């Protein structure tokens, strides 16, 4: 599938698109090397549910230009601007890792633009166990990675490491260097200090649109235990654990993800 190009807020934006029907936007995470390419095995299966599936490279990732503002808040503002560029009044959002929190914040602040929400492997949207910090998916180092560094990062996010083919590894490495590494460094510098206000987990109950949360049983940060705690605290929450999956659920359980998310979104 060949990528397309559009312009958003002065940036050249790369994205993938397939299918017809209700629009769904897939948002990748924030780890070094992340891009819309993490969804390529999911686009066509999701489209079979009567969906128009769109996966953009967020600003500073993949083939999209680097922005001047590298904050998470800018990525949240980018999504409605991207929708405007594609003339979409409303769309469902699927947010992986850090983008799950971004998508939830957008659904709460701008619910007229969001029809449904799927959160995928977002650590911060689960309750903590004691005072342990949640994993958010911003892995990377202070030095530009080598090919083996890219492999190690992928291995840390997958249960089924045989999915790391030479082509997948080369692509991940290519998306981790040059202007994308420069953007990663800028994102680290732009991180907020945080506060003692409402936790991201507490905002889940405020989601004004239908919400599905999917996590891998083998994800980091004791995600399985925290997911079970979330269900105990909020039995009405639609939260499902997928076996034999780590952080990249959409790779480890591509068929099951497409089935569950597709049925929810169609």
Q: What pLDDT band is residue 121 in, cutting at 50, 70 and 90?
A: very high
Nearest to 163 by CA among 32, 254, 62, 55: 254
Asked if the model's pLDDT at residue 136 lies above 80, the reply is no
Out of 60-74, 79-93, 132-146, 161-175, pick the least confident.
132-146
pLDDT of residue 77: 97
Two tokens, residue 159 = 């249960």
Out of 91-105, 143-157, 165-179, 182-196, pick the least confident.
182-196
For 179-190, b where at least 16 C-beta lie within 10 A, e where not — what string? ebbebbebbeee
Tell me the backbone φ, ψ of residue 149, rounded to 5 degrees: -60, -45
The answer to whether 59 and 65 are in contact (CB under 8 A) is yes
Two tokens, residue 224 = 């399985």
Out of 5-19, 182-196, 225-239, pick the least confident.
182-196
pLDDT of residue 130: 74
- Sign of the alpha-carbon dihedral angle for 171, 173, 178, 181: positive
Token match 């009044």: residue?
89
CB-CB neighbours of 175 under 10 Å? 23
Give the mean pLDDT of the chain. Answer: 94
pLDDT of residue 133: 53
Q: What superfamily in CATH does domain 4-265 come from?
A: Alpha/Beta hydrolase fold, catalytic domain (3.40.50.1820)
pLDDT in tens, 211-255: 999 999 999 989 999 999 999 999 999 999 999 999 999 999 999
Asked if the model's pLDDT at residue 131 lies above 90, the reply is no
Whole-angstrom Cα distance, residue 204 to residue 1?
34
pLDDT of residue 158: 97
CB-CB neighbours of 22 under 10 Å? 17
Whole-angstrom Cα distance, residue 102 to residue 123?
12
Token match 């990732």: residue?
61
List the domain boundaries for the chain. Answer: 4-265
The whole-number average pLDDT for the span 169-183 is 97
Q: What pLDDT band is residue 20 in, cutting at 50, 70 and 90?
A: very high
Asked if the model's pLDDT at residue 104 lies above 60, the reply is yes
């Amino acid at each position: 599938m060949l990528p397309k190009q559009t312009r958003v807020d002065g940036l050249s934006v790369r994205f993938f698109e397939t299918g017809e029907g209700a629009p769904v936007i897939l948002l990748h995470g924030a780890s070094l090397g992340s891009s819309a390419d993490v969804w390529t095995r999911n686009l066509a299966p999701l489209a079979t549910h009567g969906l128009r599936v769109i996966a953009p490279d967020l600003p500073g990732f993949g083939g999209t230009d680097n922005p001047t503002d590298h904050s998470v808040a800018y990525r949240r503002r980018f999504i409605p601007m991207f929708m405007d560029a594609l003339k979409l009044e409303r769309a469902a959002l699927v947010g992986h890792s850090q983008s799950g929190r971004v998508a939830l914040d957008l659904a709460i602040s701008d619910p007229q633009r969001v029809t449904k929400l799927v959160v995928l492997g977002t650590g911060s949207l689960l309750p903590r166990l004691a005072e342990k910090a949640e994993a958010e998916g911003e892995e990377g180092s202070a030095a530009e990675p080598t090919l083996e560094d890219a492999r190690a990062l992928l291995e840390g996010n997958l249960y089924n490491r045989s999915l790391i083919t030479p082509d997948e590894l080369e692509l991940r490495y290519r998306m981790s260097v040059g202007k994308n590494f420069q953007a990663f460094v800028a994102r680290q510098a732009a991180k907020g200090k945080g506060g003692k206000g409402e936790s991201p987990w507490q905002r889940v109950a405020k989601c004004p649109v239908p919400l599905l949360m999917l996590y891998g049983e083998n994800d980091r940060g004791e995600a399985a235990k925290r997911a079970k705690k979330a269900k105990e605290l909020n039995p009405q929450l639609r939260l499902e654990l997928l076996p034999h999956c780590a952080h990249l659920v959409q790779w480890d359980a591509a068929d099951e993800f497409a089935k569950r998310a597709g049925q929810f979104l169609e």
